[in-house]
Amino acid sequence: MTVRLFLCGDVMTGRGIDQVLLRPSDPQLHEPYTKSALDYVRLAEETNGPIPRRVEPSYIWGEALEELERVAPAARIVNLETAVTSSDAWEAKGINYRMSPANVSCLTAARIDCCALANNHVLDWGAAGLAETLDTLHAAGIHTSGAGRAAEEADAPAALELPGDGRVLVVSLAAPTSGVPQPWAAHAGHPGVAYLKDLSARTVQRIAEKVAAERRPGDLVVASLHWGSNWGYEVSPEEQRFAHDLVDAGIDVVHGHSSHHAKGIEVFRGKLILYGCGDLINDYEGIGGHEEFRGDLGLMYFPSLDGSGALAGLRMTATRMRRFRLERAPEADAGWLREMLEREGRRFGTGATLLPDGRLELRF
């Protein structure tokens, strides 16, 4: 029996995205580039045409919803890189993402089961913003991992029940290479994120011990890692070694993210390693720079795991963001992603096939 999951990279529902939803936050920003989130809406409209306002919660998912229904994954896991809060206690860090709690239905519209929160934006609106984020997501029936009011909550894996029997445990962790400030590390009596101060064997052991304390026979384990820079395909030897060590310690899927574009994929000892899943939803339309990475394109990852957690197969659906709404990527763009996965996967012994229906399949 196999279990199919849905994984993706960054889901950034704040700022411009929040402004077109039913009940947006105050658009005021504290960025050096602009003081209003509405400017991101304007940029997107100048690039791809008018965007409706006060859209239904499902709008931003667009054609991805049909794909989720078609595949019917047993668990849906995203990296939510946005605070869900009405707090005004913004952190002076240059860029702050905030979505109104009244718009949390944009996540439940896609029936998201778990939000990984160990990233460099969940505390953009301070400890009060983090507390409201946790309360809002939990009230909506969404599990969280990677952030909490203290280390115990931040470190605790989320447990997602699978149909019939078994669970998926999700442990979410953030590395300083993704821009997470060290003071955001959660510790006893101090809110924050599950922070990877290094990628050492001792850190792997600590993660393994946390997982072992929660793991039951038949559970599958996903380690969701926010690491690395925004742009570039490089996977450092240290990152690869850490991913391998996690697999050796019992992790079934390494779910990496932070880069604004997808990166190469590895299968190590039968286990899936996604070094960078790229962005799925953001408000970057019209923002220039780094066009060679095709940040407008995304991937929906649908891995199938067998009872031991080994990868039985990976299908991917290519997407494109237009007018703050996901659509299936045209064949030429899906082909561009295939070529990228082929090129970047060569060092890992993987490749990608473009199927007749326009979807992608990993070769390993």
* Residue 42, pLDDT score: 98
| pLDDT score recorded for residue 164 | 83
In the chain, where are the structural domains located? Answer: 3-363
Q: Give the per-residue pLDDT at 87.
A: 95
Which tens digits make up the pLDDT trace of 22-67?
A: 999 999 999 999 999 999 999 999 999 999 999 999 999 999 999 9
What are φ and ψ of residue 13, in 5° steps?
A: -95, 10
> Looking at the predicted structure, is the pLDDT value of residue 150 above 90?
yes
DSSP state of 78: E
Q: In what order do the strands lie in the sheet with 167-174?
A: 158-161, 167-174, 220-226, 253-257, 271-274, 265-268
Query: What is residue 1's predicted lDDT score, i.e. its pLDDT?
Result: 85
Cβ-Cβ contacts under 8 Å for 328 (sequence gap 6 or more): 63, 67, 317, 318, 319, 320, 358
- CATH (residue range 3-363): 3.60.21.10
Banded model confidence at residue 102, pLDDT cuts 50, 70, 90: very high
Percent of the chain topping pLDDT 90: 99
Confidence of residue 70 (pLDDT cuts 50, 70, 90): very high
Query: pTM above the 0.95 mark?
Result: yes
Q: Which of 320, 304, 363 is CA-nearest to residue 338? A: 363
Does the pLDDT of residue 196 top 90, yes or no?
Answer: yes
Q: What is the mean pLDDT of residues 241-262?
A: 98
Q: Please give the pLDDT value at position 104.
A: 98
- Across the chain, mean pLDDT equals 97
25 and 6 Cβ atoms separated by less than 8 Å: no
Please state, for a pLDDT cut of 70, what percent of the chain lies above it: 100
Which of the four pLDDT bands, split at 50, 70 and 90, describes residue 200?
Answer: very high
Question: How sure is the predictor about 290, in pLDDT bands with cuts at 50, 70 and 90?
Answer: very high
Q: Are 175 and 199 in contact (CB under 8 A)?
A: yes
The answer to whether the CB of 20 falls within 8 A of the CB of 41 is yes
Question: For residue 50, with 0-12 CB atoms within 10 Å meaning exposed, 13-18 middle and 19 or more buried, which class applies?
Answer: exposed
Q: Assign 165 a pLDDT band (cuts: 50, 70, 90).
A: confident
Ramachandran area for residue 62 (φ above 0: left; ψ -120 to 50: alpha; else beta): left
